Amino acid sequence: MKVRLYSSAAQFSAACQNVRALGGTLGLVPTMGALHSGHMALMHEAKRLATHVAATIFVNPTQFAANEDFGQYPRTLDADMAKCEAAGVNLLFVPDVREMYAPGDSTRVRVSGVADVLCGAVRPGHFDGVATIVTKLFVLAGTCTAVFGKKDYQQLKVIERVASDLKLPIRVVAHPIVREPDGLAMSSRNAYLSAENRRRSCAISRGLSKAWRIFESGERDIDPILDCVRTELAIEHLQLQYAELADADTLELFGGQSRLSERALLAVAAYCDKTRLIDNVVLGEDLDPLQ
């Protein structure tokens, strides 16, 4: 069956309601497009969990700061549509900016706590933009199962808070990180990397894997675990923005002399030249990133 394309919010919302009116269930996969196998894994998971899948493609301006890559972000709509079609996506919502932010739009959804640390600390306003657009998409989609990737682990936690705090009829499901064969977490931004930088970027997943291994063999001190990441990044001269250990649910940072619990998020953000890359592993829960 052909994927049905919507640019109107009202028509997309009506189509979602129609799925339920006819006795179906809806799986929702919000994306910014430039779809890769990580996105497609989310679509397949949504298909497994619901009778119909709605994907959305929207490069959301409010989650980019003025100095960030909103203008350059890859936009590959024709290829994206073909991938959605092949994956059996039923509804594809591709609004323009004015459709999601009409003139005069001034409402923002702000999450505190989980949104304030890690990427929230270095990208002020980013998660306000994320929470706002995802709330709008949730309102349009209505009752559904929404699938998000653990690649953006903090985003997932922010969205879980939004759905729960605002009592939205949305079940949020997390999907594991999908990686390239050499370990690099798939990302639309990997398209920015030259062949040499693409190679250097593997230092991130290598560092996470080393940290995973020492955690598995019993290490619970913070510094040796963070050093695994710092050392690998230094070897390839990647510029570390942060490497942090945090409670995997509240994202409260472990610091100082504290020792880790049996489950902890290890999150990294680093620049390879001008390309910002993020990656993470939940120690005590996830498999070895390089497995």
- Where does this chain bind ligand AMP (CB under 6 A)? 31-32, 38-39, 42, 148-149, 151-152, 175, 177-178, 185-188
Of 41 and 260, the one with the shorter C-beta distance to ligand AMP is 41
CB of 66 to ligand AMP, least distance (A): 19
CB of 185 to ligand AMP, least distance (A): 5
Of 173 and 234, the one with the shorter C-beta distance to ligand AMP is 173
Of 147 and 222, the one with the shorter C-beta distance to ligand AMP is 147
Print the SS3 string covering 232-256: HHHHCCCEEEEEEEECCCCCCECCC
Answer for the pair 150, 156: CB distance below 8 angstroms, yes or no.
yes
CB of 160 to ligand AMP, least distance (A): 12
57, containing H or E segment: strand 52-57
Match 């909103």 to its residue by tokens: 70
Tokens in use for 238? 């990647």
In 3D space, the residue among 88, 99, 80 whose CA is nearest the CA of residue 140 turns out to be 99
CB of 70 to ligand AMP, least distance (A): 13
In 3D space, the residue among 270, 288, 289, 266 whose CA is nearest the CA of residue 185 turns out to be 289
Of 185 and 225, the one with the shorter C-beta distance to ligand AMP is 185
Q: Which of 36, 39, 52, 175 is catalytic?
A: 39
Determine whether 177 is exposed, middle or buried from the number of CB atoms within 10 Å of its CB (0-12, 13-18, 19+): buried
Q: How far is CA 179 from the centre of its chain?
A: 13
Please identify the residue of the shown chain whose CB is closest to the bound ligand AMP: 149
With both helix axes pointing from N to C terminus, report the angle between 37-49 and 77-86 in degrees, rounded to the nearest 10.
40
| Residue 39: active-site member | yes
Of 90 and 187, the one with the shorter C-beta distance to ligand AMP is 187
CB of 158 to ligand AMP, least distance (A): 11
Supply the residues annotated as catalytic: 39
